[in-house]
Structure 1
């Protein structure tokens, strides 16, 4: 599939600010009292165990994703690839664990995380207030936007927010796109994934969709499966981050990994592989 390069900003100042907002946790055993951790993730003194140690002990980092090209999607052999998928595998390797990708209902991502069916949400996740209040989130590593997708032959009619009022939208439930159309008071139907929103527009069951700019650039337009669709206006600007359980010490570890990967060039190399143009932000 042809991919269009999209200019997004990768936050390089994470080496300085990588610990901001990231809580560290005590180990599973209190060395003074000798109390042991329970299956609930807390020891007898009520202190939280190390999330990193929990992942290392079981030997697997379970990553919650959706089908979201170019971040996480399957190749012809059914293997998960993409910018986020490749970086997640590299992070798992740095921890000495295997990485398992699990497709989740995006609207239930926090429940999945807290229930320990997954260990992180790493899927082009927008750092909204709801997300950052419920998860331990990394520093932003990409900038993005929510864009309006319509059939190309009517795109000239929908070039500003006022022109959208009579349209019916399909949006991923629990997504930043849903937040935007809801805030604008637009008529919409929630669907399971952003890919489903595109199918709704292609089938004519919805007039438009709101999806991530990165996905729009990779999946619609000339040379793609949705050559008759295009995107018009951006409804916002936003940042992507990775989410862990509250208090997880994996957050600071991933911030350091991002900073190291930027410094050694591997992050930029991965970005170029998936048609994402990296740019250094000067402080």
Structure 2
């Protein structure tokens, strides 16, 4: 009899204990469920914000450049736009402007020499972020890149040895010459359009060397480069430019659809307004070619 009474007591105690445990578990679930839900919601919000930030950076070249910490500028060695000083540093009108824009973005400007004929491919592959090198706004360029407004006037000119200058005064005179031109350049385009006899070389500097060496009768280069590179006091004192074959404008090229072009436009206007753009132009003797950015 005693055994039966004890068994009943033990069973009752176990029932009470299990009920209490169930109540505590329910209370704990009620307490932790909102906390866990809040943490899950917060984590989801953080992930969504991060994804949104990454998506914005993917859509914006400006944010992409800020995130990686550098503006990669595609150039050729082309005085007075982009060339190296005695310390091996890139300087020039375009180089100095690019540095100012990079500074406004909070990043460093990195200059990369490119094959001018492959400039569009370099942009599309993101090997560079911008083509900033005295680039003429041709139809090919404006159709393939997001370009800034024009910022410098230029022309394509015929360069010959000084002792031939008197015999090359008109386009008709120029038509009978053999030329060296930079591949992919406005000079190559005008030579093609006018049916001139020409060879294509890697750079405008190489085109000048062809004339200096006598392997080409003439070359076609940018007027602004001619002003800096040929004549008395330069590396090519025996060369001169004669006929202007075209008049044109320089622009800066970004990837198609890029917001960087509009950003650069705003920066150039600000520099024009505060006078620093013309001051930089004066350093390199191109102030008369500057286009009003207002």
TM bin (shorter chain): 0.7 to 0.9
Instruction: Spell out, residue by residue over 1:25-69, the C-alpha distance to the aligned partner (whole angstroms, 9 max, x if none).
Output: xxxxxx9x87948xxx978xxx96111111111001000000110
Q: Does 1:86 align with 2:96?
A: yes
Match of 1:154 in 2: 164
Verify the 8 A CA contact 2:177 2:196 in the aligned structure 1. yes
Question: Separation in 2 of the partners of 1:67 and 1:226?
Answer: 16
Q: Greater CA deviation, 273-282 or 116-125?
A: 273-282
Q: Does 1:132 align with 2:142?
A: yes
Question: Separation in 2 of the partners of 1:34 and 1:86?
Answer: 37
Question: Separation in 2 of the partners of 1:231 and 1:195?
Answer: 14
Q: Does 1:188 align with 2:184?
A: no
Q: Does 1:71 align with 2:81?
A: yes
Structure 1 residue 225: deviation in Å?
1.0
Aligned-residue Cα RMSD (Å) equals 2.2
Match of 2:266 in 1: 256
Where do residues 221-240 of structure 1 align in structure 2 (5 Å cutoff)? Answer: 221-240=231-250
Match of 1:57 in 2: 67
Verify the 8 A CA contact 2:153 2:291 in the aligned structure 1. no
Q: Match for 1:272 among 262, 273, 282? A: 282
Q: Does 1:101 align with 2:101?
A: no
Question: Separation in 1 of the partners of 2:215 and 2:193?
Answer: 22
Structure 1 residue 99: deviation in Å?
0.5
Greater than 6 Å deviation, 4+ residue runs: none
Q: TM-score under structure 1 normalisation?
A: 0.83
1:54–1:282 Cα change, 3 Å: closer
Question: Separation in 2 of the partners of 1:180 and 1:282?
Answer: 27
Match of 1:175 in 2: 185
Please identify which structure carries the higher helix content: 2
Verify the 8 A CA contact 2:272 2:292 in the aligned structure 1. no
Instruction: Spell out, residue by residue over 1:101-128, the C-alpha distance to the aligned partner (whole angstroms, 9 max, x if none).
Output: 0000000000000000000000000001
Verify the 8 A CA contact 2:80 2:228 in the aligned structure 1. yes
Question: Separation in 1 of the partners of 2:293 and 2:276?
Answer: 19
Structure 1 residue 163: deviation in Å?
1.1
Name the structure, 1 or 2, with higher relative contact order (CA <8 Å, separation 6+).
1
Q: Give the secondary structure class of the aligned counterpart of 1:159.
A: coil
Verify the 8 A CA contact 2:157 2:243 in the aligned structure 1. yes
Question: Separation in 1 of the partners of 2:49 and 2:100?
Answer: 35
Instruction: Spell out, residue by residue over 1:80-119, the C-alpha distance to the aligned partner (whole angstroms, 9 max, x if none).
Output: 0000000100000000001000000000000000000000
Where do residues 20-59 of structure 1 align in structure 2 (5 Å cutoff)? Answer: 36=51, 49-59=59-69
Q: What stretches of structure 2 of length at least 5 have no aligned partner?
A: 1-45
Q: Which has the larger radius of gyration?
A: 2
Count of matched residue pairs: 247
Q: Does 1:204 align with 2:219?
A: no
Q: Match for 1:220 among 215, 230, 247? A: 230
Match of 1:18 in 2: none
